[in-house]
């Protein structure tokens, strides 16, 4: 299981707007990588909108945020457009990245077990290492917690809980 201090697993994924995003392309600056179960569901919508709102308070580009699910790109594009999300959402349709980050897990609902994404967020430092990891995320207030940790990370060692 990936934890703080570990090297972030490599990735290269298609994103909204016809782009691509990779770990190598993010080097040199901290960023937020969050995994969500399914586009346009209530919890995932709230989480994306919370990150969007928080980014608006910080200023666009202040802290890159990337959301990843296993949804097909068409569903992700529709989700991003519907909620006017300005940060990239990526599709890991084949599941290699969710596996590498340990967020593809067995779940259970109504006595039925199935595989799905464990809502998780990773704060990655500019050197490509995991600065902080949150698993089994509860959406309310989460974006604010992540952005506070990112601010602490940017402030340097000893500045707060991102260590």
Q: What is the DSSP string of the chain?
A: ---TTSBPPP-EEEEGGGEEEEHHHHTTS-EEEEE-S-TTSHHHHHHHHHHHHHHHHH-TTSS-EEEEESS-HHHHHHHHHHTT--S-EEE-TT-HHHHHTT-EEEEEETTEEEEEE--EEEEE-TTSBEEEEE-S--STTHHHHHHHHHHHHHH-TTSSTT-
pLDDT at position 58: 66
pLDDT at position 154: 78
Q: Which of 8, 21, 44, 97 is catalytic?
A: 44
What structural domains does the chain harbor? 12-155 (3.40.30.10)
pLDDT at position 1: 85
pLDDT at position 159: 39
44 in catalytic set: yes
Q: What is the pLDDT along the chain (163 residues), one digit of tens a residue?
A: 899 999 999 999 999 999 999 999 999 989 999 999 999 999 999 999 999 998 877 655 578 999 999 999 999 999 999 999 999 999 999 999 999 999 999 998 899 999 999 999 999 999 999 999 999 999 999 999 998 898 888 777 643 443 3
Tell me the whole-structure pTM to 2 decimals: 0.91
pLDDT at position 153: 85
pLDDT at position 161: 40
């Amino acid at each position: 299981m990936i934890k703080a201090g570990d090297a972030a697993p490599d990735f290269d994924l298609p994103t909204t707007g016809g782009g691509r995003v990779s770990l190598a392309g993010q080097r040199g600056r901290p960023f937020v990588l969050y995994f969500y179960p399914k586009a346009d569901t209530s919890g995932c919508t709230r989480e994306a909108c919370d990150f969007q709102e928080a980014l608006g308070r910080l200023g666009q580009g202040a802290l890159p945020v990337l959301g990843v699910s296993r949804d097909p790109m068409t569903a992700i594009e529709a989700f991003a457009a519907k909620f006017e999300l300005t940060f990239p959402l990526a599709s890991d349709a084949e599941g290699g990245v969710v596996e590498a980050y340990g967020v593809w897990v067995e779940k259970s609902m109504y006595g039925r077990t199935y595989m799905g994404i464990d809502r998780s967020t990773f704060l990655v430092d500019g050197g490509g290492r995991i600065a902080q990891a949150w698993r089994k995320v509860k959406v309310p207030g989460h974006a604010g917690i992540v952005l506070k940790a990112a601010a602490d990370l940017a402030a340097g060692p000893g500045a707060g809980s991102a260590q």
